[in-house]
Structure 1
Amino acid sequence: MSKHQIRQIIEARMPKDGMVDTGIKGIQLFRATEAVPCVPPVYAPCVIVSGGKEAVLDGQRHAYASSQYM
């Protein structure tokens, strides 16, 4: 399955921003179409389907996207 197909499936299940359970233990979908303010959460492993993410660790910014891993 291509990344484009995965994105289409997620967008069909999540027409708006937020988080939903998938019915699979430990797997949730999160969608944000605008920047989310910096908060101190710890995320379990995640997959970025489109766009990018920035993590701040000890004051250093680390940007990553769907083709990069951290």
Structure 2
Amino acid sequence: MLRTGRLYNSEGECLLNKVEIADTFAARLKGLLGRAGIEKDYGLLISPCSSIHMFFMKFPIDVFFLKAR
């Protein structure tokens, strides 16, 4: 089971109600594979991550690369 959290912007507004955190090799390897789709306000935080692929994905996704300040 992946750890979960929420994503907020700098003004404190909740952007995503459910963010799963993929911070182990196994979790990053699986990613979103095997899912038919995801909820509207869902996110997957992959850490560390320098690239992604869409092989065998059944739905389109939006991708954001985050950088710590």
What's the TM-score, normalizing by structure 2?
0.31
Determine which structure has greater relative contact order: mean sequence separation of CA pairs < 8 Å that are 6+ residues apart, divided by chain length: 2
Structure showing greater Rg: 1
